[in-house]
Amino acid sequence: MFSDMKDGLPPRTMFEPQSKEVINFAVGQPSTKDFPMKEIRAAVKEFAAVDDDELSMSLEYGYQAGDGSFLHVLASFLQDQQGEELDALSARNLFVTNGATGGMLVLLNHLRFGEVPKCLVDEASYFLALKVFEESGYHVIPVKSSEEGTGPNMLELRHLVAVYRPAFYYTVPTYANPTGVTVPRTLREQVYECCRSGGVKIIADEVYDLLYFESDNRVPSYAAIDAANARDTVFSLGSLTKILAPGLRVGWIRASEALLKPIIDSALAYSGGGMNHYVQGQLRAVISSGDLSTYVDRLRLKYKTQATAMVQALDEHFVPLGCEFQPPSGGYFVWVRLPAGVSCDDLQQACKKMDGTTVLFMPGTKFSLSSGVHSDRIRLSFVRYEEAAIQQGMSLLGSALSSLVGK
């Protein structure tokens, strides 16, 4: 498991530090240089100065759903950031998890029914979510996308809901991983009504929702749609991984009180208490001080600049070769269609033959459990590198692609 052990120890992080030898557009993770070191240090220092009574409460088993004071400031932050009506979201609508993936595992256990439970996913879905569902024993059924490519095909979704009666429909509806697409409001409402009337829960992976480039292109989250309708249909996954730092391992499930109650009352929650209870105490200061809001504002501007650099490079090096893509309006990713006759495997092999700096990308085939699907696609992440490195990497990747076109 630990093939890169040094001095007999496992590595300290999942990914190697950035180097001049590798430009990694594959990994959906920000640069460590972007982490808000000053704000985190200030929060840790402030928390370390609390009195013994306050500290002891953070060292005790936490309330199952999370520290009440942390939930309160988190709810206020989310409501302010998402521009929702007052009282649309409260601490009672949140359950703290070990990141979004931890929340996903809680829900898979909670929603499971039947000998082989079934779930629906988008035709191109977050690859690790697909593996989590499979490893958890679910039969994963893809839903074809609409002709416009902006979300699921509603005829197919209605058919699959009626035929399979799945436990849930999983989707990344905003700045999706991998496609970067945002499902428009009208289609979201159709999806919501289809699942609600069919008795199917929606797991909305909404971790990218706050990373918009322009505030006027936003649409209501599935969580907000469910809150407005009060029909107990949506479990929304959120995380500080994308808007603060992944190592904190703090995420949340947002849902109605009725949907959260059996999760809060579960043996898992009672046995372990609130997840990352001590860390919640430290993060409370980051949010209540306004530091998190300021940092997210900085990320939006930075990621917009980096996305623009990648779009310009795609226009220069890829479009003339026959590639197609949709410019991102937020999030992390660009989903690129390769020229006719070129596969993502072909491009990977061409990159391996190049001398000097290695450029990595995520092949489209990763985002489906069916063999060969999306073989004409690649996913590129623009959040890890500054503009100069993006331009360099895209130029090299374009050269590798050019060597394949016309063969």
Contacts with 135 (C-beta within 8 Å, 6 or more apart), sequence order: none
- Supply the pTM of this predicted model: 0.94
Instruction: Give the whole-number percent of the chain exceeding pLDDT 90.
Output: 75
**What angle separates helix 257-264 from helix 99-111, to the nearest 10 degrees?**
90
Q: Is 60 exceeded by the pLDDT of residue 249?
A: yes
User: Quick one: pLDDT at residue 16?
Assistant: 63
Band of residue 132 on the pLDDT scale cut at 50, 70, 90: very high
Band of residue 2 on the pLDDT scale cut at 50, 70, 90: very low
Q: What is the pLDDT of residues 155-184, one digit of tens each?
A: 999 999 999 999 999 999 999 999 999 999
Tokens for 246, please give them: 């992944």
Among the residue ranges 16-20, 232-236, 277-281, the one predicted with the least confidence is: 16-20
User: Quick one: pLDDT at residue 1?
Assistant: 39
Instruction: Give the whole-number percent of the chain exceeding pLDDT 70.
Output: 94
Band of residue 87 on the pLDDT scale cut at 50, 70, 90: low
Mean pLDDT of 42-59: 87
Query: For the chain, what is the total number of helices (H) and then of strands (E)?
Result: 14, 13
**d(C-alpha 374, C-alpha 335), whole Å:** 10
Band of residue 354 on the pLDDT scale cut at 50, 70, 90: confident
Round the average pLDDT of the chain to a whole number and report it.
92
**What angle separates helix 344-352 from helix 387-402, to the nearest 10 degrees?**
100
Residue 375: phi and psi, rounded to 5, are -70, -15
Q: What is the pLDDT of residues 191-213, one digit of tens each?
A: 999 999 999 999 999 999 999 99
Band of residue 378 on the pLDDT scale cut at 50, 70, 90: very high
User: Quick one: pLDDT at residue 51?
Assistant: 87
Q: What is the pLDDT of residues 109-131, one digit of tens each?
A: 999 887 889 999 999 999 999 99
